[in-house]
Amino acid sequence: MNRPLYVFYGDEILTYYFGPSHPFNQKRVKLSVDLMKDLGLFSHKNQLLPIRQASIEEALAFHQEKYINFLQEVEKTGDIYLDQGDTPSFRGCLQASLWIVGATLQALDAVLTESVYAFNPGGGLHHAHRYRASGFCILNDAAIALEIARRKYGINKAAYIDIDVHHGDGVFYGFYAEDWLLDLDLHQDGRTLFPGTGFVQEIGEGGALGLKRNIPLAPGASDDSAMYAWREVIEPSIREFKPEMIVMQCGADAHYGDPLAMLSWSNNTYTNFARSIAELSEEICNGRLLLLGGGGYKPSNACLAWAAIALTVSGQEAPDSLPDSWTEKFKEAYGYSPPESILEPETQDPRTLQSTQKTVQNLKALIQSRITPS
């Protein structure tokens, strides 16, 4: 894993702002990038790069024109909700969304033309559908990037992995019948969490049957469940499909203590997943790996998880303690002290592990019975 890592960030993404009392706030992305800087991540071959705004035409690679026209009208006043009450519009909301998409598209271009890993921690807005906003997501930068990878760069087979605690429904159903995209989604069981979807039985349709795989986890599921699902489903699925590139949405809201969800992963899972996905990308697709952020509603969790991912894919170990310079910035921004280290004890929960094992067995049996000729 000697490839450089390019991280794309600009303060323009702070304009994606739903107001002071809303749980989604891109300030945590700024603090994450500050942590990467203060850890010395960009002192050698890795780079922190500015972002550009995507065009409407690029957004239309995934979204319907009618929806984009609607957003163009709505962003003039920003006075309505875009869904049932989670995602308010605001003045300039389409423009702000286009900055996030632009950052993801620059990261995509870097991965496909420059032999680097790329990370947009401000991206990963996986709930937006082709024709509507949902779950704090107005435009789906991940889905737009996947479409553009196929249409502009000629990628014939891609894998999308989503480790956000919420099901990545915008991407999952947006490409449900598309046989060029393997979609692997690890999340908290939809019976207990927004958006209420993402079940084992949903495995794609038509030529894509078996290429969409959900691994719903019971509330409380810990590092042992995460690693089991990774080893048993994610790794072998990627090896079997042999994608030409991998996009991973790295939402940090499955980390324990997240105020909106109930999984119990520690930073060990983010570190292990990052190491494994970088190795797999080297083995399968010449290191073409695009990383995106996502959810994460306890700001220190998001900062630590994304810094752990960035350090790991660039082959660096997390230090025992965090830089004082960053701890001070974090305290000033949020009014509380972050943990002293990225390193955390592993979490285990034998009861939920058993349930994960059963879920994985059910998924494997279903795929076997539906796609293997008898």
Q: DSSP letter for 317, please.
A: P
Q: Which of the residues 232 through 251 are near Zn ion (CB under 5 A)? A: 251
Burial class (CB in 10 A: 0-12, 13-18, 19+), 60: middle
Q: Which is nearer to Zn ion, 165 or 208 (CB)?
A: 165
Task: Return d(Cα 132, Cα 139) in angstroms, integer.
Answer: 9
Q: Which two tokens stand for residue 303?
A: 């900062």
Is the four-CA dihedral 42, 298, 264, 139 of positive or negative sign? negative
Task: Give the residue closest to Zn ion by C-beta.
Answer: 295
Q: Residue from 295, 314, 338, 342 that binds Zn ion (CB under 5 A)?
A: 295
- Residue in this structure with the two tokens 């991940």, named with its chain if needed: 142
Q: Work out how close the CB of 167 gets to Zn ion at its nearest, in angstroms, rounded to a whole number.
A: 9
Count of residues of this chain found to bind Zn ion when the rule CB under 5 A is applied: 5
Does residue 63 have an active-site annotation?
Answer: no
Q: How far is the CB of 49 from Zn ion (least distance, A)?
A: 26
- 268 Cβ neighbours under 8 A, 6+ residues apart: 223, 344, 346, 347
Judged by CB, which is closer to Zn ion: 10, or 168?
168
Closer by beta carbon to Zn ion, 284 or else 304: 304
Residue whose CB is less far from Zn ion, 34 or 164: 164
Q: Applying CB under 5 A, does 216 fall inside the site for Zn ion?
A: no
The residue behind tokens 């220190």 is 300
Tell me, letter by letter, the H, E, C secondary structure of 225-276: HHHHHHHHHHHHHHHHHCCCEEEEECCCCCECCCCCCCCEECHHHHHHHHHH
Which residue type does 282 have?
E
Q: How near is the Cβ of 124 to Zn ion at its closest, in Å?
A: 9
Q: Pick one of 58, 75, 178, 253: the residue that binds Zn ion (CB under 5 A).
A: 253
Q: What part of residues 145-164 is at the interface with Zn ion (CB under 5 A)?
A: 164
Q: List, in sequence order, every residue forming a beta bridge with 216; answer none if it has no partner.
A: 187
Indicate which residue of 44, 63, 126, 127 is catalytic.
127
Using CB under 5 A, which of 166, 187, 212, 213 touches Zn ion? 166
Q: What's the closest the beta carbon of residue 358 comes to Zn ion, in angstroms?
A: 24
Q: Given the complex with Zn ion, which of 287 and 295 has the nearer CB atom?
A: 295
Query: What would the two tokens of residue 33 be?
Result: 């990038």
Radius of gyration over every alpha carbon of the chain, rounded to an integer in angstroms: 19
Find the shortest distance in angstroms from Cβ 84 to Zn ion.
17
The residues carrying an active-site annotation are: 127
Give the binding site for Zn ion (CB under 5 A).
164, 166, 251, 253, 295
